Amino acid sequence: MRLSHRLVLVAFFTALITGGWLIWEIDAVDPPAASPTDKAQEDLSRIEYPSQKGMRWHPRFIRPHETLESLYGKDWIWVARFNRVDRRHVYPGMTIKEPERMEDIRGYTPLPKELPEAKAHRKYILLDLTEQWIGAYERGVLKFSMPAATGKAGTETPVGTFRIDARHQTHTSSLYKINGEEGDQYPMDYALRFHIDEKNIGYYIHARDLPGRPASHGCVGLYDEEMQERTFGMPEEPVLVDSRKMYEWAVPDSEYGDDYGDFEEIDNGPVLEVRGTLPVYR
């Protein structure tokens, strides 16, 4: 056999073997999911919340045309809260936590029903950074609670005990814009100020996007789909308005006078306790 023929046969069998290996490799890969090195943290199943360790759930990869509503019907609200994510941030290519039994997450809250240190206060707000969750207490009893998006690593929400000292229904950020330098100032509807740092920067609880992880520059964001629809055009039918609920409970007109939407400092606002550290992202 000529040398040229031998070279052809070697090349043929090499290609055959390599091709077979590639086919096997492609067939053996895992189902689509966010990359383990995902810096954008699109895989929410990798975020560890202590309250979920005993709960049964599995990762759910979001495929094209899938939404929380199409997947879970009326229970989409509980799945969103369980994942600390809003509908605008659930998109193809990301992964969420899907509970194995919906009844396990209806009414889910990681906060205690009673808080002894809050009993001396008529109104008391607890923010748990590790759980990314905030709750409203009256005389130590939890009245309601909701997910939150706090400061991310490097711009953490300050820890400690504070007091709500100002309210502003139509607040906007003085530092950040929606779409870079050319956009409008970022809306911060239903803003409750609780801290001013050494640089004279105010920290607020306010309406915000919830991407399912700590994401802010230090403020505390709550669901407000009405703000999202007005600002981003979705969702078309707003449902979740947690920021308004917290605002109306914390600083009602009946206690602090008529609210005309302007910035207003207040006295004797509710106490806010911020505790914990940021959740672990595996």
- Looking at residue 133, its amino acid is W
Other Cβ atoms less than 10 A from the Cβ of 133: the count is 23
Strands 271-275 and 280-281: unpaired
Joined together, the tokens standing for residue 218 give: 């230090």
Other Cβ atoms less than 10 A from the Cβ of 144: the count is 15
89, 168, 171, 206: the catalytic one is 206
Bridge partners (DSSP) listed for residue 177 = 185
The question of whether 168 is a catalytic residue gets the answer no
The question of whether 206 is a catalytic residue gets the answer yes
| CA-angle at 38, arms to 34 and 39, nearest 5° | 150
**Distances 36 to 32, 48, 56 between C-alpha atoms, Å:** 12, 15, 22
Cβ partners under 8 Å of residue 43, min gap 6: 33, 34, 35, 59, 94, 95
Omega before 187 within 30 of 0, i.e. cis:
no
- Active-site residue set: 206, 219
